[in-house]
Structure 1
């Protein structure tokens, strides 16, 4: 069967098999019916956190229930050759965190760890962390749905900034700082895995930067301008993808 382009695309958290039928979740039913306004004649593209995409027919369609049947699958790996782990300090305004997660995933980040900074608003307002994580995971799925990624980046449980920084890992570790001397193109050419840290709206103090550097982070300059926290993540990941990834 010839499959048209731009068909509706949904995520299913299951192993998927050709000729098997699946009942869609309430979220997927709502998305297809209320947002995309599909009907029972549509073919769907389904992804499930693997490097395959699956194609399905809608075989049952009612007010609250949609059932599909898989009829084909195809290998589709569009993951970047560089693995990027983003440590993002949680901003005071959570919409900025939502945007940073969404756009960094579109640019190819693989792991996102939300970070607490001891002197910030976020630790002192009884925020519902489990609720935020679920929200961020939904944003991650939605971003993959839009940008055609099939492997969903991992959203880690929030952790204290310095506890995250001191973890011993093999990644190249970078902190972006407007007064840094080095630029991205001065890093070694064989970089495959990078851990980057992005601060909040107020940035890092001199003492905080000094401590982060002591944990092995390399200060890198993105340019002469001061960027908003949600912008900095996008610019940093774009620059890394252009230097080491698939934006060449």
Structure 2
């Protein structure tokens, strides 16, 4: 974590000595922390590193911060981790996105599967994607990451395969999956496929394995989709990433 508990994401690019106006989510974040002018905080724009900053003004509808210096600190995993997440309902999907970001996921592809019950199209899909991206930003502010993982436009599973070419695929398979210790080490990164409520169908698991995905089991208990996502990422990061 950074040396201060207050971290704010701002659209960049940013530069040292710049005075930046804050509004919207960033302003609400500062107000919730009850900061006063003169307080120090950390600002990042997603382009790498972070800025030490000082709160100059804080009004009801706007605030300003001065960027004091840039620090090249990063908290990214050594390999890219892409999550193909079967779209779940409401808070379950939010929790999966939030905790995946905290655990080092570098990209999230929401996926429509056979058991997906959420129906999204047009404007509703755009709003949900925007919402999930904001969840990812908030998670980065909390956990100390300076690069915000992209949350892609939701796609069908058939279209998702092309999004992860070149990565070692892992699919959650409670029935036939092996333990994490049996997975081959990834050469370029990992793509993890997790189903929604109800899991993946046998056909979808077979389609994944036919494309070279390795089946992963997580023990004898049945996990909810959001729990399964977190557990799988944790064991994969412990085995191949930077989770000590």
For normalisation by structure 1, the TM-score amounts to: 0.91
SS of structure 1 residue aligned to 2:119: helix
State which structure, 1 or 2, has the greater radius of gyration over its C-alpha atoms: 1
Tell me, yes or no, if structure 1 residue 141 matches structure 2 residue 137: yes
Aligned pairs, number: 243
Report how far residue 55 of structure 1 moved.
Answer: 1.2
Alignment pair present for 1:157 and 2:156:
no
> Whole-Å Cα distance in 1 between the matches of residues 160 and 22 of structure 2?
37
* Whole-angstrom CA distance in 2 between matches of 1:161 and 1:58: 45
The answer to whether the 8 A contact 2:7-2:141 is kept is yes
Query: Equivalent residue for 1:27?
Result: 25
CA–CA distance in 1 between the matches of 2:70 and 2:131? 29
SS of the equivalent of 1:204 reads: coil
CA contact (8 A) 1:86 1:196 kept: yes
Aligned counterparts of 2:164 and 2:129: Cα–Cα separation in 1: 24
TM-score (norm 2): 0.92
CA distance in 2 between counterparts of 1:96 and 1:119 reads 15
Query: Kindly tell me: are residues 80 and 167 of structure 1, through their superposed partners in 2, closer, same or farther at Cα, counting changes over 3 Å?
Result: closer
> Unmatched 5+ residue regions in structure 1?
none
The 5-angstrom pairing of residues 83-232 of structure 1 reads 83-91=80-88, 93-118=89-114, 120-123=116-119, 128-165=124-161, 169-232=165-228
Greater alpha carbon shift after TM alignment, 134-143 vs 218-227: 218-227
Mapped contact 1:175–1:198 kept (Cα < 8 A): yes
Q: CA deviation at 1:168?
A: 6.5
1:56 corresponds to which residue? 53
Q: Distance in 1 between matches of 2:187 and 2:231?
A: 18
**Match for 1:18 among 16, 19, 28?**
16
1:166 deviation in Å?
Answer: 5.3
Q: 1:191 to 1:221 in 2, by over 3 A?
A: farther
What is the CA distance between 1:125 and its match in structure 2?
Answer: 8.3
When structure 1 is superposed on structure 2, of 218-227 and 160-169 the one drifting more is 160-169
Q: Which sections of structure 2, spanning at least 5 residues, go unmatched?
A: none
Secondary structure class of the residue paired with 1:122: coil
Change beyond 3 A, Cα 1:168–1:78: closer
Contact map agreement 1:192 1:244 (CA 8 A) in 2: no
